[in-house]
Amino acid sequence: MGEHTLRAGETVSANAIFQQPWWLEALAPGRWDEATVERAGGLAARLPYVERGWPRMRVLTMPPLTQTLGPWLEHADASPPRAVGHEHDLLAELEAALPPAVAFVQQFSPTVLNALPFHWAGYRMEIRYTYRLGLSAEPELWEGLRSNIRREIRKARRQVEIREGLGLDRFYDVWAMTFARQRLPPPVSLADLERLDRACAAHDARAMLFACDEAGRVHAVTYVVWDHNGAFNLLGGADPSLRSSGASSLLMWESIVRARAVTDVFDFEGSMIESVERFFRAFGGRQTPYLKVTRGSPAAQRVLGVRGRLRRQAARRRA
């Protein structure tokens, strides 16, 4: 791979935390790069990507635990027609600057819904959905919850308390239980998560929360990351034998309330699985589209299709 123009620990303009060099290096060390476009001596657009496979079968994709990647574009202070034309030019140059690959698979940020130059270059665009919640005053957020979620939160408060500082090992053990229940491996190893946690902690960009009862049992866990663009519901899991306590609903609510101190948007990170969508929707967020942009040879598409099915199975852990 080529030399990075950005250092791994650097913080740059981005649509979301997932585009930061330090995030990419934590989850894909030495395997990420980016296409860039400059205007007037400054950075006007960038498109990070992760390389997988060997050179003749290179795939450009995203790191694990990364909801969206895609392009960042500078804002054009111009009339709508000129602004869109400016976006078209930057996107076309980014696509042309990508290295040769048998496949490209990325999900763009909900703030970037223009991918027409990729479509014109032969890429496929697919609409996907997340839920995003504007972080208003706490009483207003509470009123926006469905009544069953409020009941779950009240029930959980009688049984558990929210704690921090119990350690990543314990978090991982509880998180992995939801995969073990479905006979699936966790999508990343403890070592991978430790590397990400160190990076997030260094940038004051995460909360790791535990719902514990008086006996010290951990009912559920959640891991939320954030920057000024938004907070993201990254990881969540529960002890299958303790799922009836309502702890997962309480943790989600606590994550939303805490995120108000650092940003003004909470992203529930996808909702394409029916049971997951139903749970996320109950917290009052707005259904928000984002683009999955792909391109690949028939053979590559078959391989990626298998991987996609495995990821969808893993996503059902929250069901």
Indicate if 84 and 186 belong to the same structural domain.
Answer: no
Cα–Cα distance between 246 and 159 in angstroms, integer?
9
Q: Name, in order, each residue with C-beta under 8 angstroms of 255's C-beta and a sequence gap of 6 or more.
A: 207, 209, 222, 224, 231, 233, 266
Indicate if 99 and 223 belong to the same structural domain.
Answer: no
- Picking from 53-57, 74-78, 185-189, which range would have the lowest pLDDT averaged per residue? 53-57
pLDDT at residue 149 is higher than 90: yes
Indicate if 34 and 114 belong to the same structural domain.
Answer: yes
pLDDT at 270: 78
Q: Name, in order, each residue with C-beta under 8 angstroms of 134's C-beta and a sequence gap of 6 or more.
A: 264, 265, 286
- Picking from 55-59, 229-233, 283-287, which range would have the lowest pLDDT averaged per residue? 55-59
pLDDT at 302: 65
Indicate if 279 and 294 belong to the same structural domain.
Answer: no
Mean pLDDT, residues 177-190: 90
E-strand stretches of 70-189: 72-73, 103-107, 124-134, 161-163
Looking up residue 201, the CATH number of its domain turns out to be: 3.40.630.30
Full residue range of the structural domain in which residue 39 is found: 17-128+289-318
pLDDT at 160: 98
Indicate if 93 and 236 belong to the same structural domain.
Answer: no
For 125-146, the pLDDT digits (tens) are 999 999 999 999 999 999 999 9
Indicate if 293 and 280 belong to the same structural domain.
Answer: no
Q: Tokens for 66, please give them.
A: 């990364």
pLDDT at 286: 96
Q: With beta carbons less than 8 A apart as the criterion, state whether 1 and 51 touch.
A: yes
Indicate if 299 and 281 belong to the same structural domain.
Answer: no
Indicate if 140 and 257 belong to the same structural domain.
Answer: yes
Looking up residue 80, the CATH number of its domain turns out to be: 3.40.630
Indicate if 168 and 275 belong to the same structural domain.
Answer: yes
Higher pLDDT, 46 or 271: 46
Mean pLDDT, residues 298-310: 59
Indicate if 142 and 165 belong to the same structural domain.
Answer: yes
Calculate the average pLDDT of the chain.
Answer: 92
Q: Does some domain include residue 296?
A: yes
Q: Does some domain include residue 3?
A: no
Calculate the alpha carbon distances from 113 to 75, 228, 234, 245 in Å.
Answer: 14, 20, 22, 39
pLDDT at residue 62 is higher than 90: yes
pLDDT at 3: 46
Q: With beta carbons less than 8 A apart as the criterion, state whether 306 and 128 touch.
A: no
pLDDT at 308: 54
What confidence category does residue 296 fall into, taking pLDDT thresholds of 50, 70 and 90? very high
pLDDT at residue 118 is higher than 70: yes
pLDDT at residue 184 is higher than 50: yes
Q: Does some domain include residue 99?
A: yes
Q: State the total domains in the chain.
A: 2
- Picking from 50-59, 117-126, 140-149, 247-256, which range would have the lowest pLDDT averaged per residue? 50-59
pLDDT at 11: 83
Q: Does some domain include residue 9?
A: no
Q: Does some domain include residue 192?
A: yes
For 232-281, the pLDDT digits (tens) are 999 999 999 999 999 999 999 999 999 999 999 999 997 788 989 999 99
What confidence category does residue 9 fall into, taking pLDDT thresholds of 50, 70 and 90? low
pLDDT at residue 180 is higher than 50: yes
pLDDT at 309: 52
